Structure 1
Amino acid sequence: MAKKNELWEWIKALVIAVLLAAVIRYFLFAPIVVDGLSMMPTLHDQDRMIVNKFSYTIGEPDRFDIIVFHAPENKDYIKRVIGLPGDTIEYRDDTLYVNGTAYEEPYLDEYKKQVIDGPLTNSFTLRETPVGSDVVPEGHLFVMGDNRRFSKDSRHIGTVPMEEVLGKTSVIYWPIEDVRLIK
């Protein structure tokens, strides 16, 4: 009888562990692999990261958060939030202007030093992108990759509806030499 009771306890523990892991992965945190170079130099191809799915359940995205979202071609993209609902976005002379105010983008400094044949980010206004209006629509985000010359982002696919956002990511856990928190 003791053996049967012990086996039952092990089965219950295993079922609880599997259910707990499934709940955590589905609702709270999930792994994702960076695919491509669009977020260089911040993120590298094949970096493995944790997506915090809970972050926007209780809060709103902040400008410059790195998010994961479902893109139109049935892929998940990792990009940086540049524009929030109601913002006007413009790039002029390689400088970001949000609502008419110039913003620093320190995460681009490394790439800007390497570019010798023009700006890292070509000049544009929201109206000149698929957004087609002067402001980021309510319930949407304007996102861009850090590797501005080689990123398919809101300049090409339009804004991202909030319901397509999986969550925020800021932890690289693999490869081991690159483990860090990112901004």
Structure 2
Amino acid sequence: MVKRDLIKQVILLVSLLLGLIALRAWVFEPVTIQPEMANAYLKEKDLIITVRGADATYGDFILYEVDKKEYVGRIIAMEGDSVTYMDDVLYRNNEIVHEDYLSRLPHVEYYTEDFTIASLTEQAHQVLPEGTYLVLNDDRTNLSDSRTFGLIDTKQVIGRLTFRLTPLSDFGFIDTGVTQQ
């Protein structure tokens, strides 16, 4: 009787471990925020759960890969959008987009160099082509985003940052700071 209970417990434990490994491999991707990824919402050393294949929209943080290195950025525009960034004002589809989340940055002033989709794609596109995102860092002096890498293809996206595990004081869903417009 004891031997049978032990075997059941071992089988249950192995099944649980295999289930967790499968979730980690196909659904969740943990990411520790590095100094170059940090901003007003994502602090250095935060442990964040990324959901693979989750729908992402304007303002969401995504984890993406360029040249086998992972980066975190905010979605500014999606396929079919036209974008102009001029004098620190974002125009998406010829409408001003208020980036209130930038006001939470430690430095009051920020400066984003002027660009358009045409200038980022060397005149190849006027709007974002199908299956691409325009991704920018909240720290606009950190150019490790679409301004350097070009438009981010959906194949490069690992997932959407969804849930903060640590620090425990900030445990919960990620607040992107984006207000409905």
Which TM-score applies when normalising by structure 2? 0.87
One-letter amino acid of the structure 2 residue matched with residue 15 of structure 1 = V
CA contact 2:82–2:92 (8 Å) conserved in 1: yes
Cα gap change, 1:15 to 1:38, in 2 (>3 Å) = closer
One-letter amino acid of the structure 2 residue matched with residue 106 of structure 1 = D
Aligned equivalent of 2:129, options 105, 116, 137: 137
1:78 aligns to what?
72
Shift of 1:151: 3.5
Which TM-score applies when normalising by structure 1? 0.86
CA contact 1:129–1:155 (8 Å) conserved in 2: yes
Question: 5 Å matches for 1:1-183?
Answer: 2-56=1-55, 61-72=56-67, 74-111=68-105, 114-115=108-109, 119-130=110-121, 132=123, 133-180=125-172, 181-183=174-176
Structure 1 residues 90-149: Cα deviation after superposition (integer angstroms, max 9, x where no partner): 11111111111110111101339622xxx5212111222246421111111110110011
% identical equivalent positions: 26
Unpaired stretches in structure 1, ≥5 consecutive residues: none
Shift of 1:160: 1.2
CA contact 2:40–2:106 (8 Å) conserved in 1: no
RMSD: 1.9
Residues paired across the two proteins, number: 174
CA contact 1:68–1:166 (8 Å) conserved in 2: yes
Unpaired stretches in structure 2, ≥5 consecutive residues: 177-181
2:134 is paired with a residue of what secondary structure? strand
For 1:69 and 1:125, locate their aligned partners in 2 and report how far apart those are by CA, in whole Å. Answer: 22
1:138 is paired with a residue of what secondary structure? coil
For 1:96 and 1:39, locate their aligned partners in 2 and report how far apart those are by CA, in whole Å. Answer: 22
Structure 1 residues 9-49: Cα deviation after superposition (integer angstroms, max 9, x where no partner): 02211111011101221222221111123441221222111
Shift of 1:166: 1.5
For 1:143 and 1:178, locate their aligned partners in 2 and report how far apart those are by CA, in whole Å. Answer: 25
